[in-house]
Structure 1
């Protein structure tokens, strides 16, 4: 394309052959199709497919390029919601160990800004996804064009700039030749085990369709090695000294264990030393639930066993974790005055948290070398016996929460009983996905992972609406394995649209909807902090104007069926037991719908075992808020800065 009054730029001089004339969009698709990752001898295609919703900002550029490339060079997946497409891409990349990813293309304007939440989720969780939003004209033939944001003080700003703070790399391709360095930088970040996250290449719609003579070398196959940095000798020696000097050590396993594929190294370290292993949401499953050293989740949603060990630990090895407020119980969990930390992390930023002795390295490499460095060390048998006994006590509490008395067979289930019934159906091949509501807390405390990747709870961003699209991405990465998306009614209503995609693509995800007539998790939190459940129930207005009337007549099962799913309605525990087995055996997208009852004193998840800081009104006239503030001040007084 030659613009009026514009001289096409000269092509870069060819080195290995004649230049290849393609549009910018065609060149980008061809380039991406030839990028690979390699780690431990395993080679994978980096961008395995592209999700897309087309509008005037990308239909004639990226859309035409994908059509011309064909499904073999760049497979295409049709989405229904831009945010959901990113969630699906995140689910895929996480299941692939971050060694393979998806791209997502959208039109300009609202299509592009709908990416922001998904981009934030990817970056917070450090999962690679390539975003290709359309952008307004680089040549400005008319100003403004449809969906252009006019900023009086800056002519080069578009709505895509909203993606800058949630992207690990951002570039706007305003000239064809700028694609070459930008594409290479984008892939560098996507394959960087520390810096990875959302990567955005904003593509003005006129530039997408512009032709250019590309050097043939740009399309050569490239293999990007994913690094496994080994620990520094001095840092390793200091970490080993800390381990040998500890009497009550504890390992906190985070998502970095999974990303590194360090589960076997962690198991070997724990077995040799007897050090117990607690897990964050992202790290749960690093050890099987029945491994002798596994003590379950840690922090506000953790087990009594793990949290009790954390309060008395004199050494905490934070392995591949960001040490978020849920994990540290808002800086109240690690109470031993003598406690010290070793920060085993690829990212120096995380490795130094809590004034830790840093051990900046790949988790698998560092655990292997640290085990050699502490050869002969093992915790006192009394310490090992104590946490083993505490773990058995907790497992008995899980059994009680899961239990279904004979007289309850015809009653609606509690949420904990739903998990117990599912526990009885699945095996190590199943994958469970959740992100928000009250389920993450119950799962972290109660679920018994049978495989390293069974537990898939996105709690870095805890984004309502993640589960269904992520289940599609996971199922694409793990074909043939049963994949379950567990959602409450509030989460379901946020983002059910990708059910259509699952039906279209024949991806047999299993969806479990737990209907409790509102935002149960935040409703419970509201009650605890003096908010009295205000604005959290799905009910009609009562005579006093509050939402205290009858439950809304929502039929979420009918909604899922209208989108193409097979739906199994349940009323009782007996119904649900049969429905879960039927859904697991299904070969098409299937929904199990269950209305839950409020947990009672016999069956329900144990309460929180550690605090979480949600500030309460300092002054109030309502008694509930006054009482909640008194409890808040009592808990907050236990906060500690580790220096």
Structure 2
């Protein structure tokens, strides 16, 4: 078989890939030979950045790597932003690209799509970037990629194949089976010490990040046995279940939770970077930990970043927490539920003027679509939802407002999530500014007949940046942008659309959503606020 055929067979038969995202080009045509009946679904976005965001949403909704087939040069620079977001949030993504012929690499001859070094460019937004120079090595290189996804801190991997290798013959008797890989668990002595500290604690606190989403049962067991208030970051939403009495939500940047953190005598942080977009979104370095900090993370380097650690353990979250829970066969009692309830009451989120307009917004979504996956861009409803939303399971709420913080993520990532979870409703939460980055992906939603609901919060520009300029005494510039008529644009794509201005209209629109295509719900923010504030 050829190198290109071997690639497809390895992805499908060895690694179980069923969906790929890509835009064909003259440098990747050979990759498409046999794809039309090869058991792998090909989805064509309208921009390579959209392909990357779709793969990201697919991966977050399933835990399986999203796979992209990308053209040399501009295709790779287009997808780099999506890879940056995936790298920041540890999302498994396999980007396979073409590159110019081996004999022309690095020679600056002005070849089609030529970059001085495509591999070096992509290395900065991936766990590793590899140039395949011998087709015989393809199984090994793919095995390395899936080893990253399955046994260490995941993230994007880039493999580029020179165009002169696609049709190169490969003598292979049979496909190699996938390796069985296991993630590490902490040293037993370290776990015993962590257990001793947690047992002695009078005011324990648990911090859970996105690294915990694969193990909700282990997480709940340990948290409940410790009887400890628990911060669940944005990427960890749902890991404790909906409205768990020990869940403080993603509110670590708010005063009441910060006070709880300052007073905690032992803190257990698992699968979390302790980064500013989760713990210091007000950017004042005010999240302080004075107690003993125990960290568990797959990435050894992460153990010593951002906060002074007292005990660091390298390990996968689920198994590590299950082993730690064995030290607490009987639940402890330290008023954890009472402390959590008092902290949430002090937060008063529903009455906070910054969040109040979105309380009925999310109440309506929860009432009509309680099982929905909510996928967000950087937009006002998402900023509020990070604090207000509680989900029944993990992988049901994610967005691009943290980490890399890119605009344009919400719509294509929601399409990827819908492809990954066709039986669940999926809602994209976008703003009139950010959606313009990837609005063309409405065409993909219509073409693939994806029943995604796109809720567009229309506040006439970049509202978050307007407020930031106002607060810092900077004259508004570049933020009061003109938007298109979204109803007409949606109709042009063949997408159903409606405009609403209050919670009752939102409920009716959600209940009447189509089952065979997308629906755009445009929220008139001025009308919405008038109703809410009246």
Q: TM-score scaled by structure 1?
A: 0.76
Are 1:479 and 2:422 matched, yes or no? Answer: yes
Residue 567 (structure 1) aligns with: 497
Pairing partner for 2:211 from 223, 239, 256: 256
Are 1:113 and 2:77 matched, yes or no? Answer: yes
Separation in 2, partners of 1:253, 1:392 = 21
- Alpha carbon RMSD of aligned pairs, Å? 2.7
Separation in 1, partners of 2:70, 2:493 = 23
Aligned positions of 1:81-92 closer than 5 A: 81-92=47-58
1:195-219 Cα shifts (integer Å, max 9, x gaps): x21111112222223x2232224x2
1:84 positional shift? 0.8
1:443 positional shift? 0.7
Residue 443 (structure 1) aligns with: 385
Quickly say closer, same or farther: Cα 1:101–1:600, change in 2 above 3 A: closer
1:420 positional shift? 3.4
1:321-346 Cα shifts (integer Å, max 9, x gaps): 0111133325734446x422110112
Pairing partner for 1:229 from 176, 184, 188: 184
Aligned positions of 1:128-277 closer than 5 A: 128-140=92-104, 143-149=109-115, 157-194=116-153, 196-209=154-167, 211-217=168-174, 219-220=175-176, 222-258=177-213, 261-277=214-230
1:30-88 Cα shifts (integer Å, max 9, x gaps): 2222223xxxxxxxx2x2222221112112x2122534xx241x332222111111111
Are 1:352 and 2:316 matched, yes or no? Answer: no
8 Å CA contact 2:136–2:170 kept in 1: the answer is no
Quickly say closer, same or farther: Cα 1:115–1:402, change in 2 above 3 A: closer
Of 445-454 and 494-503, the range deviating more from structure 2 = 445-454
Pairing partner for 1:63 from 32, 36, 43: 32
Separation in 1, partners of 2:51, 2:186 = 37
1:395 positional shift? 6.2
8 Å CA contact 1:296–1:305 kept in 2: the answer is no
Are 1:50 and 2:2 matched, yes or no? Answer: no
8 Å CA contact 1:243–1:374 kept in 2: the answer is no
1:557 positional shift? 2.4
Separation in 2, partners of 1:394, 1:571 = 28
1:594-624 Cα shifts (integer Å, max 9, x gaps): 12139979968xxxxxxxxxxxxxxxxxxxx
Separation in 2, partners of 1:306, 1:288 = 20
1:160-196 Cα shifts (integer Å, max 9, x gaps): 43111111121112333343432332332233332x2
Pairing partner for 1:102 from 58, 61, 66: 66
Aligned positions of 1:376-455 closer than 5 A: 376=330, 378-381=332-335, 384-392=337-345, 394=347, 397=350, 414-427=357-370, 429-455=371-397
Separation in 1, partners of 2:509, 2:352 = 21
Quickly say closer, same or farther: Cα 1:593–1:134, change in 2 above 3 A: same
Q: TM-score scaled by structure 2?
A: 0.91
Question: SS at the partner of 2:169?
Answer: strand
Separation in 1, partners of 2:360, 2:202 = 38
Pairing partner for 1:590 from 519, 522, 525: 519
8 Å CA contact 1:25–1:65 kept in 2: the answer is no
How many residue pairs match? The answer is 526
Quickly say closer, same or farther: Cα 1:223–1:23, change in 2 above 3 A: closer
1:237-295 Cα shifts (integer Å, max 9, x gaps): 2211221232211111110110xx22112212222221011111111221234211111
Quickly say closer, same or farther: Cα 1:94–1:118, change in 2 above 3 A: same
What are the ranges of 5 or more consecutive residues in structure 1 without an aligned counterpart?
A: 1-21, 37-44, 150-156, 404-413, 539-551, 605-643
1:405-453 Cα shifts (integer Å, max 9, x gaps): xxxxxxxxx45543333233221x2110013133332011111323333
Separation in 2, partners of 1:344, 1:490 = 38
Pairing partner for 1:343 from 295, 299, 308: 295
Quickly say closer, same or farther: Cα 1:268–1:333, change in 2 above 3 A: farther
Q: Rg bigger for which structure? A: 1
1:519 positional shift? 0.8
8 Å CA contact 1:434–1:457 kept in 2: the answer is yes
1:341-371 Cα shifts (integer Å, max 9, x gaps): 1101122122233232112222222222222
Separation in 2, partners of 1:224, 1:509 = 36
Are 1:557 and 2:515 matched, yes or no? Answer: no
1:296-321 Cα shifts (integer Å, max 9, x gaps): 21333x5x553332232222211110
